[in-house]
Every structure is written in C-alpha cells, then in structure tokens.
Structure 1
Amino acid sequence: MATTLSSIFIGLLILTTLTRLWLARRHVNYVQANRNQVPDAFKQNISLESHQKAADYSSAKTRLAILETIAQAVLLVIFTIGGGLQIVDSVWRSLLPNLEILRGALVILSVMLISSLVDLPFDYYKSFNIDDRFGFNKMTPRMFFADMIKQAFVGLLLGAPILFAALWLMQGAGEYWWFYLWVVWSVFNLLMLAIYPTFIAPIFNKFSPLADDSLKSRIEALLTKCGFKSQGLFVMDGSTRSSHGNAYFTGFGASKRVVFFDTLLDRLDVNEIEAVLAHELGHFKHHHVIKRIIMLFAMSFVGLALLGWLQQQAWFYQGLGVTEPSNYIALMLFLLVSPVFVFILRPFMASYSRKNEFEADAYAAKHADAKYLIEALVKLYRDNASTLTPDPLHSAFYDSHPPASIRIAKLSALQ
C-alpha cells in the first residue's frame, strides 16, 4: 500500500502541476492574443491603452504564478517523498524527546515557516515589481515586512490554541477525536467571523465611520429596504497599500459591518456606490455566507473523519516519506498533500462562486439600477486592470467572479 500511495501521489502531483502550468500558459497566450482589440461591449468606456495595461498586468502575474507553482511542487516533494518532514521531526525529537504535543506544534510551525519563506520572494516581487510597475503598489518595504510580522503574530496568537487543542485531542480523546476537533474547529471559525471586524482587521488597516452624510443617508435607506442590520458603515484606508478598490460586508450576527475602500469612494459616484452595495447585499439576502460556512463545515467534517482513519494506517506515513509515525505528523502530512488530491474540485467550487455572483447581480438590479452597477464594474475593471479577455478554461478553474463580458451581458439583459 505504501508504494501504491507513493505512486498515486507522485502521479497526481505531476498531473496537477502540469495542468496548472498548462492553464497558466493558455491564459497568458489568450490574453496576449486579444491584447490589441477592446471587446465591443467595452469600447466606449475602456481605452485600448487601459485594455493593454490589463492584459500585460494579468500576464505578468500569471508568469510569476508559474514560477511559484514549480517552487511549491518542488517543496512538497522535498517535505514528503524527499524525507524533509522526517528530518524536521528528527531535529525536534532530539531536542524535546518527551514532550510530544509541544514537539508536534513546533514541527508544524517549522514546516509552515519554511513554506512562508519560500513564498516570500514571490509576494515581495509581486508587490515591488509587478504592482509597482503597473501603478498599484502603495506600500514601502518597511510596511510590507511590518504587515508580514503582524500577520505572523496574529496567526500564532489565534492559531496556537487551536493547534494545541487539535494535538491534545488527537492524543487523548480516543477513537472519535476527529469529531471533537471538528466541533472545536467549527466553534472557532464562528468566533473568528464574529470578532474579525472589530478586533483583527483594525490591526492591519484603519477603519473610519463613513463621513459623507448624503451618501450615508442613501446607503442607510438601501440597508433598511433590504432588511440588513449592520454595526455601522466604515471606510478602510486601502489606499495606504494599494490603489485597487473594493467594497464588502463582513462579520457575523450583530457584528456585521459594511466596509468601503477609500479608493472605491474616490472613483465611483453615489448611484454606482449604491449599486455596488446592493450587489453585496445580494450575497447576504441569498444567504451565500451561511451556505459557504455550512459547506466549509461539511468539508472539514469529511476531511477530519478521513484523517482519523489515515492516522491509523502505517502505509500513509511510509508512502509519504515518514518512518516515525505520530499524531502531529499525520496532521501535517494531511495538510500538505490534500490540495493535490482535491485539485479536481477547483472548477466546481469556482462555478458555484460565479453562480453566487450572478445571483447577487440580479438582486442588485432589482434594488438599485443595473445601469449603475454596469458603470461601476466597468470603472473597476479599468482602474484595477482586470483583464476583459481571460482564457475561458483558466477562468473556469480559478475565477470566483464571472468573466467581464459575460457578467456585463447578463446585467444588460436585466435593465
């Protein structure tokens, strides 16, 4: 069984990596082939120069993603078949031979740290080469590394308790530890949804109450009309890091709040902002957030049940380069290799997400004016340099939002 697992894993890793590289290359070729012609639906609002900028920006990001895909695949092989995870474990075993839970936490954190260090050059290059070159980056290197340290600190502060809880349950909760962990994990996620807007997001950005009284009145009227109760309307200082614009609502239960990027408010007029908010409210009214939470809980239930079984199989460890089985090694191996096995689900998940976007657009067309949502989207496509001509197959795997031409066509039919 161990040899069979090794063969299946290597085969799937090669297949998924080659598929990702092929899709990326297709996307770049498709975008560049359509670089010199603005789609008919956008000719009046987006110049050829803006269209070419979007094509080049998308291509640059995708070329970087190709290198990152290769690096991640190599690192995964090193950690598994190459015995890297076993080496990390052996180092900590020699230092902490009798403290399994602490040792397990340190092994997992070490692997995560190594992975983050491999990703770091790609993140830095994207911000300070690609985004900088296309006029989007507003960060300084100091801010970039300060954010990275903050993220690591917050991740450790929030993740360490759940990690220790997982290892403690795996060690002492018996055969059904995975079910108890699933309950803890579910409660933890609900708690994070509740506290994120108030306590975590402000660590990274400044949130100020919406000061424009006229806009505030329009938005509050729309919220009342749609039956949405929020903790408040806030403006986020997105311009300190990027010139990209966006809007969203966040939180859960009584902690819900509506957030606008300051860059969005600078670009759109009142009618367009109202239409964008109506779209976000469409997600709320169609219960998309709740449905996603339920889906997350269902997937984590299945995943943890599977891990509970794999943990007891010697071939699971041996087939993935580990000679000394343990609870924490089982958890780490599962986290490392599961993306390879579920890659095939990506187009289904992306399709579901795009369906949600169409539903939110239809809701916005009923409670605002589709014309203004179209105008807002066109501005955002232009100002965010979002390509209007993504490769259809690449889009089917990766895009959570519908391609621009299809989305605008559907909205135009709702006017």
Structure 2
Amino acid sequence: MNLFTWIFLFLLTSGGLLEYWLLWRQANAVRGHRDRVPAPFARRISLDQHQKAADYTLAHIQVERVTLFFNAVLLLCWTLGGGLDWLSSQWQRTEWPALWQGTGLLISVLGISTLLELPISIWRTFGIEERFGFNRSSIRQFITDQLLQLGLMLLISIPLVASILWLMGQAGKLWWLEAWGVWMLFTLSITWAYPTLIAPLFNKFTPLEDRQLRVRLEKLLQRCGFHSKGMYVMDGSRRSAHGNAYFSGFGRNKRIVFFDTLLEGLTPDEIEAVLAHELGHFRKRHILKGMLTMAAISLAGLALLGWLREQSWFFEGLGVSTQSDAMALSLFLLVIPVFTTFFTPLFSALSRRHEFEADDFAATQASAEGLINGLVKMYRDNASTLTPDPLYSAFHHSHPPAAVRIRHLSSRIREQ
C-alpha cells in the first residue's frame, strides 16, 4: 500500500458516505411529505397517486443503498482484493498474443461485472416495477434482452478495445490523441446507427398513424427548422408502463420517437408541447454542447491515462502487480468514478439549466399550459416524486424538481 492507496480508499469511503447521506435525506423528504399532495398539484394528482409515487421512490432508495454497497465491495475485490491480477494470470495462460490477452481481460471484467449485477436488475424489474404495476416484461423477454445486450456488447466492445490497446502499444507517447479520434468516431457512429440499426433490435417502431396529430406536429417541426426521417411510435408498453418521448441520431438520420404509453395518456396539445420541449434541446444546441463537453472530458481522460500508465505507484496503489496497457485501461475505467463523485452536481446543474431553456422554447412554440398539463400527467403516470430533497436533487436529478419546473412555466404564462 502506498499514498495513492490511501487517497483511493479515502475518496471511496467519503464518496460512499456522502451518497448514503443523500439517500437518507431523500428518504426523509419523501416520507415526510407522503400524506399530503403539494398545493400546485392538489387538483390534478390524488392522494393515492401521490402516496404511490412516494412508496415507489422509497423502494428504489432501498435498491440504491444495496447497489452502492455492492459496487464498492466489487471494486475493492477487483483492485486491492486481487481480482484483476488473478484474471490477468488466467488470460496469460492462453498464450495468445498480448493484444488479445488484454482485450480478453477487459471484456471479461465488463462481462463478469454485468453478470454479478444481474440479481439487482431482476430485483428492480420483477420486484419493484412489478409491485407498482409498471413491469410488462415476461421472464422470457427479460432473458432475451439480456442475451441480446450481451451479444451487442461483444460485437461493439471487442474491436473498440482491441483498437485502443493496439494504439497504446504501437502509436508512441501521443497514442491517447489517436485513441481519442477512434473513440469519437465510434461515438458518432453509434449515435448515427442507433435509431435504425440498434433500437429496432429491442423494440418495434411504426410511423405515427394519427393523421391530424402528424400534420400538427409537422407544422411544429417546420416552425422550428427541424428535419427528421419521420415520427415513430415505439411499443414501450411491451416492457413497461412508463411513458416518454425523445429524438435520436444526427444529420439526416434523426428520428422522433413517442412511447405508445405516452400517446395514450396525453392530448394533442400536450403532445405538441412535449415535442416542442424536445425540439428546444435541438434549437438551443444542447445536444451539440453535450457532445463537445463529452469530447473534451474524454480527451482529458485519455491524456490522464497516458500519464498514469507510466506510473508504477498507480498500479501498486490499486493492488496490481502486473503493469501493462490492458491493466492500466482496466484500472482507469474501474476507479475513475471514485474520483469524479464530487463533480456530479456540476453536470446535474448544467443539465437542469438546459431543461429550463428547453421549457422556455416550448412555451414560445406551443402551449405552456399544455406542457404543464403534460408534465403533470407524466409525473403522475410514472410515479415521480413531487417532493425530492433539494440537496439530493442537486446531485442526482438531471431535470428540475416538479414544483420548481411547474412554477417556472407558470411564470412564462403570466409574462405572455
């Protein structure tokens, strides 16, 4: 153990205690307001619906507590517990070329971690989601999804990991710059391909059939200067009762998608307003800004990895005896979340700012009242808590709290 070991353990412990404290605050806030619907929602959400949302949130907090502890133990097992060292020794016995031994090591870590997390995923789906009436997925569907995700992971991850490891070994000291180029090309390719090649593997997408609604939404797209390959309805009800809407892809491959569960619950005014909000992200260039931010962060991360792979204390401090490119990349991916925990509020604040801007845009292109009504229905139907703890929300919520968001939109109505 060296100084870096103690820094790692301190941040792992302090970050974990912080997360448990935030979960405790969130549970107290939700439980403390369970017996009364907040005034802004009193006429639209019943006490039973409010209490269901509170109980649903509290159930998920239980899962988060277990997940937090499990992830910390698993991380210690991989690092100081010798898990990575042992797994690396098993791959060395294959006598494969070093590149493929390293690729095998990384894919194994990812696969084993996913397998160990499977019981928690089952708990969420067939425990909590089932108990609160949201799960519509069968055991057979769940297993099929898991196998499909595993196949995609292998298909995508193996060439990506092999390419980066090859660059680490062959491209000289500035390998990380070329690796960043590969990563960005990969990210853009996946973003482009997702709507038409990946998403249809899991769900069925059909063109929006409601002619009046389609004409209305197409006029909105024209006003906003948004061009897409069409508007589609996704069979989200096949797995869950939750509803949502989104657009994905970029360039000419953009696609607008509505969950069928969302269309069933909202009026045309509300659907138009929800879509206007999503288009607000496009018009305000939030997607582009997000991609540029992630590009800068990934570049800085790879540059940091380029330096750390040369430092013996990095490997020794995390309980690893074998110093290799694959081990450096494995350790970096495993421990980087420990060192970024305290930056979470910054990204959450930026995301909430973007949500306010998208709401403001929607209020100018559609009905602000329609957006309020649509949001309230979505809060109700998705059992979203109306009374989150402010500090927990500041850390973990990418969207503003319900009451804050509704108040903001109401102010726009008064201004108009």
TM (normalized to structure 1)?
Answer: 0.99
- Residue 236 (structure 1) aligned with residue 203 (structure 2): no
For each residue in 1:154-201, what CA deviation from the matched residue of structure 2 results, as whole angstroms up to 9, or x when unmatched?
A: 121112111110011111111111100001111111111111101010
Q: Which residue of 2 aligns with 1:94?
A: 93
SS in 2 for 1:95: coil
Query: Does residue 11 of structure 2 align to residue 12 of structure 1?
Result: yes
Gaps of 5+ in 1: none
The within-5 A match list for 1:22-101 is 22-96=21-95, 98-101=96-99
The aligned counterpart of 2:220 is 222
> Equivalent residue for 2:389?
391
Task: State the Cα distance separating 1:109 from its structure 2 match.
Answer: 1.3
Structural mapping, 1:309-324, within 5 Å:
309-324=307-322
Please tell me whether the aligned partners of residues 107 and 157 of structure 2 are also in contact (alpha carbons under 8 angstroms): no
Candidates 320, 325, 328, aligned match of 2:326: 328
* SS in structure 2 of the partner of residue 44 of structure 1: coil
The separation in 1 between residues aligned to 2:155 and 2:87, in whole angstroms, is 23
Q: Which amino acid aligns with 1:254?
A: R
Matched with 1:149 is 147
C-alpha RMSD over aligned residues: 0.8
State the one-letter code of the partner of 1:262.
D
Deviation at 1:92, TM superposition (A): 1.0
Quote the offset at 1:30 in angstroms.
1.1
**Secondary structure, aligned partner of 1:414:** helix
Deviations 1:195-229 (A, max 9, x none): 11010100010000000000000000000011000
The within-5 A match list for 1:278-293 is 278-293=276-291
Query: Among residues 151, 161, 164, which one is paired with 2:162 in the alignment?
Result: 164
Aligned to 2:263: 265
In the alignment, residue 267 of structure 2 is paired with which amino acid? D
Deviations 1:327-376 (A, max 9, x none): 00000000000000011110000000000000000000000010000000
Q: C-alpha displacement at 1:69, in angstroms?
A: 0.5
* 1:91-127 deviations in Å (ceiling 9; x for gaps): 111222x511111111111111221122111110110
Contiguous gaps of at least 5 residues in structure 2: none
Query: Which amino acid is the alignment partner of residue 260 of structure 2?
Result: D
Question: Which residue matches 1:130?
Answer: 128
Deviation at 1:25, TM superposition (A): 1.6
The residue type equivalent to 2:73 in the other structure is: V
Query: After TM superposition, where is structure 1 displaced by more than 4 Å over at least 4 residues in a row?
Result: none
Deviation, 1:18, is: 1.0
Helix, strand or coil at the partner of 2:117: helix
Residue 235 of structure 1 aligns to a residue whose secondary structure is strand
Instruction: Identify the residue that residue 380 of structure 2 maps to in structure 1.
Output: 382
Question: Quick one: which amino acid aligns to residue 381 of structure 1?
Answer: Y
- Tell me the secondary structure at the aligned position of residue 133 of structure 2: coil
- What is residue 106 of structure 1 aligned with on the other side? 104
Deviation at 1:295, TM superposition (A): 0.5
Aligned counterpart, 2:300: 302
Identity %: 50
Secondary structure of 1:330's counterpart equals: helix
Determine the structure 2 residue equivalent to 1:176.
174
Q: How many residues align?
A: 413
The more displaced of 336-345 and 114-123 is: 114-123
In 2, Cα distance between the equivalents of 1:62 and 1:112?
25
1:112-148 Cα shifts (integer Å, max 9, x gaps): 1221122111110110010000000000111111101
Q: How do 1:334-345 residues align onto structure 2 when only pairs under 5 Å count?
A: 334-345=332-343
Amino acid at match of 1:126: R
Alignment partners' CA distance in 2, 1:93 and 1:360: 52
- For 1:10 and 1:166, the matched residues in 2 are separated by 29
Aligned 1:185-264 pairs, distance under 5 A: 185-264=183-262
What CA distance in whole angstroms lies between the structure 2 residues aligned with 1:174 and 1:263? 52
